[in-house]
Amino acid sequence: MQRTDLATTVNGGYIEEYELDIRRKLLAMRVDVLDGDTLSSYDLRFELLSHLAYNTESRSDPEARLQLTELWLDAVPENSPTEEWSITISIYDLSHIRLRCSMISVDGQMLK
């Protein structure tokens, strides 16, 4: 998958599963996206994390589904002073995940 396709592919999807593995410096999530009558699932992996921040203003039900409203590539490795990806993930209930990582993969393929 090309970097320009990532946001448009997963925006509006639901984060159905996620895992944060601190030892392996990994945030993995499965995002399901319904487009018309087609349901697609994407396995996202943000690897070699150097920074992870979670901010929320949510007062919503903790059992509610997590809708991934938007994903932004704030910086790509060649334009980043740390040579890392810088990403912001916006969740519908006014929550944001901001992270920096060395590698991103979608369905097992490295993002270019």
Number of folded domains in the chain? 1
Two structure tokens written together for 86: 């810088």
What is the pLDDT confidence band of residue 112, given thresholds at 50, 70 and 90? confident
pTM: 0.90
Identify whether the C-beta of residue 58 lies closer than 8 Å to the C-beta of residue 48.
Answer: no
For the cut 80, the answer to whether the pLDDT of residue 61 exceeds it is: no
What percentage of the chain carries pLDDT values higher than 90?
Answer: 75
Residues 22-58 pLDDT 10s? 999 999 999 999 988 999 999 999 999 999 999 998 7
Edge-first strand listing for the sheet containing 51-56? 51-56, 95-101, 85-91, 66-75, 13-21, 26-35, 38-47, 103-106, 109-110
